[in-house]
Amino acid sequence: MYHIFRSGRTMQQLANQPDIDFKSETYKDAYSRVNAIVIEGEQEAHENYLKLAELLSEHKDDLIRLSKMESRHKKGFEACGRNLQVTPDLEFAKQFFAQLHQNFQIAAQEGKIVTCLLIQSLIIECFAIAAYNIYIPVADDFARKITEGVVKDEYSHLNFGEVWLKEHFEESKAELEEANRQNLPIVWQMLNQVADDAEVLAMEKEALVEDFMIQYGEALSNIGFNTRDIMRLSAYGLRA
């Protein structure tokens, strides 16, 4: 069941889910994976910004500040799991991020700053913003407060990537195209992998896809891509 409004919220979400049983085994089982994904994602984001601080020494202080925010996010989401008495399945989450993580690390080794920024500051941040936006209306009260604080930070991380890539747009264009082609299909696969668990949390896949496309399209536009490029780039691998 899916009814979309211009806000990107589904009818289910507008009803504010009075019927979610956060204590049910079904909910907690799904939460053990989604919560782990978020914890592992925040941990990897922390490491990625530290790596970017090495690669982009003129923005070292800013990037270290972002990496510290990511560790705080991780602590917040660990508390959300504890609050529901859920043990996060971190092995599952490591697997979930493995491909994107590996691509980031290879790019970092090769000094490909543009690719690193596309993976972390555009793709992963947009994925996080979409997920957190969709989660907030259906979260338990404790997790909602934490997530509302976190999502504000994620917009500032996305903004860092946008500003840098906008300033280096012409010389980054070709690498952005290639990095998008390699990494965006992975995100759609990740979304498919988590869709059933997300549904249990009352987060609809269609809403996640839509919010991601809006964030990512806006980011590409802010960097300097035209509408035609944005359509082509943001749908890449959507049917993979």
Q: Which does 1 bind (CB under 5 to 8 A by kind): ligand Y39, Fe ion, none?
A: Fe ion
CA–CA dist 29, 88 (Å, integer) = 9
Residues making up the chain, counted from first to last: 240
Note whether 89 binds ligand Y39 by CB under 6 A. no
Q: Give the nearest distance from C-beta 100 to ligand Y39 in angstroms.
A: 10
Q: Which long-range contacts (CB under 8 A, 24 or more apart) does 145-150 make?
A: 146/76, 146/77, 146/79, 146/80, 147/76, 147/80, 149/76, 150/73, 150/76, 150/77
Alpha helices by DSSP H, the chain: 11-14, 25-55, 60-83, 90-109, 113-117, 125-135, 141-167, 169-200, 205-223, 227-234
Interface residue with ligand Y39, options 63, 123, 186, 203 (CB under 6 A): 203
CA–CA dist 229, 121 (Å, integer) = 19
Count of residues of this chain found to bind ligand Y39 when the rule CB under 6 A is applied: 19
Interface residue with ligand Y39, options 30, 37, 52, 202 (CB under 6 A): 37
Note whether 176 binds ligand Y39 by CB under 6 A. no
**Residue type for position 217:** G
Note whether 157 binds ligand Y39 by CB under 6 A. yes
| Residue with smallest beta-carbon separation from Fe ion | 1
Note whether 70 binds ligand Y39 by CB under 6 A. yes
CA–CA dist 44, 101 (Å, integer) = 8
Q: Which does 127 bind (CB under 5 to 8 A by kind): ligand Y39, Fe ion, none?
A: ligand Y39
Q: Give the nearest distance from C-beta 171 to ligand Y39 in angstroms.
A: 25
Q: Give residues 27-46 in contact with Fe ion (rule: CB under 5 A).
A: 42, 45
Note whether 204 binds ligand Y39 by CB under 6 A. no
Stretch of residues binding ligand Y39 (CB under 6 A), selected from 18-26, 32-40, 100-108, 210-218: 32-40
